[in-house]
């Protein structure tokens, strides 16, 4: 097997959208050199100024050939671009023997390139933001604690739910403000969701129709499943002696969202791609996130393991953060764990090949401790 390529100390952060925050600043403190690639050099300079990083990172105008020309062995490329762009960036990394990191789910196109990256001794870090990312850390940590308490060979049933949402800190009538591509929000609602409920595999063709109340610290939210939860049962490594009763990963919204969005759902039921794209533009204009708005990120991961009718182990992680004048909650929650992962590429502790934010309870607890030390607040509640 090819030895892992040592990190050079140079980080290329590609894209400076709404999820770029204090994680980039943390890398400027750690890496020997940081370059911020944006649409133009002027925009890159403006983004660095807005983040207070002028002089601490080098602005660059992004094109893939321009980036490829500056890559050296051991450099790290951090992609904040949309997921369809990742495969091309990873190919450039493999050609240059540079490592790659992003916060997105592993796409089939990225997965195709992982063997070549691993053979070249390169780290491919994915799913290392908020959701996916911190949610994985919470889940692995809970499963590890339950495994220690109960025993992996003890027959049991379990319920695991993982819900995350970015919502307005001050609720509006629409119960939402758009902080990322509105069409992406609507298309996500058009994608079926597969999950496990009461021991039965279930598919919600229209995920919002599976919305349920979800109470956290006395506050009622609305939660619905998204994507395909089922593969994460294996990814999370739950003991085979434990039988899943409920396993759902989904989206959290403010109470009243379902009612406020009914006109949107009507269009999603009957509209075509063109009409839904037009609706996305209208909603973006009507409910934008402005410079004066503050956002809120809420992430709850809960695990209940029952070994007998009167014997249940429970664990709940809750992250509930609001943005401030310096940084949005979303930027903080996406960029900080991603930057932490990049620092572990820099220090050589991540192996070559595909990595996610967490694949063991031990690493999850380590990363959570580091994030907590850096000021990312969350709580853990355990009970029996």
C-alpha count within 13 angstroms, C-beta hemisphere, residue 111: 6
Quote the CA–CA distance of 48 and 64 in Å, as a whole number: 20
* DSSP state at residue 107: P
Q: Which residue in 381, 358, 320, 19 sits closest to 163, CA to CA?
A: 320
DSSP labels, 139-177 = HHHHHHHHHHHH-TTS-EEEEEEEEEEEEESS--TTS--
Which run of H or of E encompasses 372?
helix 361-373
Dihedral sign computed on CA atoms, order 86, 90, 93, 98: positive
Distance between CA atoms of 323 and 282, rounded to whole angstroms? 25
Catalytic status, residue 131: yes
The Cα–Cα gap between 324 and 294 comes to 6
Closest CA to 163 of 220, 245, 222: 222
Indicate which residue of 75, 131, 135, 295 is catalytic: 131
Catalytic residues: 131
């Amino acid at each position: 097997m090819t030895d892992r390529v040592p990190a050079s100390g140079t980080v290329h952060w590609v894209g400076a959208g709404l999820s770029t925050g204090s994680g980039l600043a943390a890398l400027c403190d750690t890496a020997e050199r940081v370059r911020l690639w944006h649409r133009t050099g002027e925009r890159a300079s403006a983004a660095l100024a807005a983040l207070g990083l002028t002089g601490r990172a080098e602005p660059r105008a992004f094109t893939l050939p321009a980036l490829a020309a500056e890559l050296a062995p051991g450099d790290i490329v951090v992609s904040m671009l949309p997921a369809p762009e990742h495969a091309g960036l990873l190919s450039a990394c493999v050609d240059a023997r540079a490592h790659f990191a992003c916060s997105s789910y592993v796409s089939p196109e990225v997965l195709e390139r992982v063997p070549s990256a691993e053979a070249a001794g390169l780290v491919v870090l994915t799913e290392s933001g908020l959701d996916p990312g911190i949610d994985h850390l919470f889940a692995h940590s809970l499963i590890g604690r339950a495994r220690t308490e109960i025993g992996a060979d003890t027959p049991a049933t379990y319920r695991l739910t993982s819900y995350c949402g970015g919502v307005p800190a001050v609720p509006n009538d629409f119960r939402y403000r758009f902080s990322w591509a509105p069409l992406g929000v609507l298309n996500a609602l058009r994608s079926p969701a597969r999950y496990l409920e009461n021991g039965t595999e279930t598919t919600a063709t229209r995920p919002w129709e599976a919305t349920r109340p979800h109470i956290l610290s006395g506050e009622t939210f609305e939660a619905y499943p998204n994507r395909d939860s089922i593969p994460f049962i294996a990814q999370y490594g739950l003991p085979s002696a434990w039988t899943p009763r409920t396993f759902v990963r989904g989206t959290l919204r403010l109470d009243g969202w379902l009612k406020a969005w009914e006109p949107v759902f009507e269009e999603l039921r009957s509209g075509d791609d063109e009409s839904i794209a037009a609706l996305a533009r209208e909603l973006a204009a009507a409910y934008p996130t402005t410079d004066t708005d503050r956002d809120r990120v809420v992430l709850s991961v809960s695990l209940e393991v029952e070994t007998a009718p009167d014997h249940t182990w429970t664990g709940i992680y809750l992250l509930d953060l609001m943005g401030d004048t310096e940084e949005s909650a979303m930027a903080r929650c996406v960029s900080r764990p991603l930057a932490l992962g990049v620092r572990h590429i820099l220090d050589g502790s991540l192996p070559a090949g595909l990595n996610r934010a967490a694949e063991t309870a031990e690493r999850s607890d380590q990363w959570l401790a580091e994030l907590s030390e850096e000021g990312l607040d969350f709580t853990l509640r355990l009970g029996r």
